[in-house]
Structure 1
């Protein structure tokens, strides 16, 4: 399939999904992103859509994909094409700093069908997970990563970093952990970790999701020493098999995304934040077994 037809196919999926959900998406934001990264779509996997509950996420749907080739940082192109503004804030320097110091194995992109270009992921090979103790030395990294270093060590997470995601719209950073110790997903472990970082007591719903979680991530910013959000998720090909019911809003979203494969893959996540918990569902438009999952 040609590059143009691949981008047209994704645009058609965006249009169909937004229409079914009653979202007036921004063609002027979606089309330039698909055009800029058109050569990625012949190889991009997975391609996924995500929706989240809560007022911050209302009225938008995210689209995410892994870029190709893996050694091409997608951020400079986003700046040169005007998809995200050039900035002197450390958020603009973090990804080049990471690429210079660590063996990045691939990149991913998030964009909102309404909000536009949002986030870039830098991923590491599954057999070469990176260390928080080394990431804290990255010049543009928020000081909050170093401030919470003892938390990561206590919970066996120091050498488990699988991805770092830079959110240019909100000026935040996500640090993803894989091969997480089982104790982190036990009810007592979840309660203890949230208490240690000053977040509210988890709901029974959050504890239920944790019992089957595959990984976790935290959100940091440059304005606070605190961990802003704590999130984990579960994967499934059948939403009815999850340990908790899915919100009607997210069920409708899952039904609205077109898919041409046999078994659809979902990632259902929960995030703990100071203002309370919220939930998110990623549904794959295209995916291959063994490809990475984000939350």
Structure 2
């Protein structure tokens, strides 16, 4: 091999190495949908999330976009993204619902927070999307909640899942309004419960109504449907100063190191198949 051939070979190897590095450094894309029009507690979380996720995206090499235009929930738009987030609500338009279902059945990733799973007959958010609430989430409609928003001790039920394998056995979650659901998720073979309320949390809630304080029971708060690349987290309702009509934040969801790690490892699992590191 002459000198020119050797130089060409080195140049080719260098070009291939650069190409591999560029490909490996490519970011996966996350899109968050939100409404942020109802309940200051949910609006507060949306604003918090839309500040926090861009910071995490820079640190963990993914890109983060957000939109309150639900008409973007269509096949062409979703094709650009590896992971979809629902920060506070769900789509109501039949075409948007159909596009989201196709996206998930096609292997897309999804993370939903708190009110994104809410549905209740004869309410402003009716129980009228069977695939989403009964099959995909498996929870059915809303049952009840604790009040006021308080921290809870959560027990990690599955420490082998990529989203939870690096969490402690129990941890203290940020203050939240905790939900109870119509269906018992333990009876659904497709559902893997990742975290639930630990009995050390009881009594959970402060009232003033007695039924808003939980003393016993089993309450899943983080789970995945094993037929999809998804995770639902009941977190996402900040405590707000309603009593003095200031609407000021009294708590935040993000910034809790263990809870943050859960969210980030879940995002990395859906986007790359790997866990986040260093958080």
Q: TM-score, normalised by structure 1?
A: 0.29
Q: Looking at CA atoms only, which structure, 1 or 2, has the larger radius of gyration?
A: 2
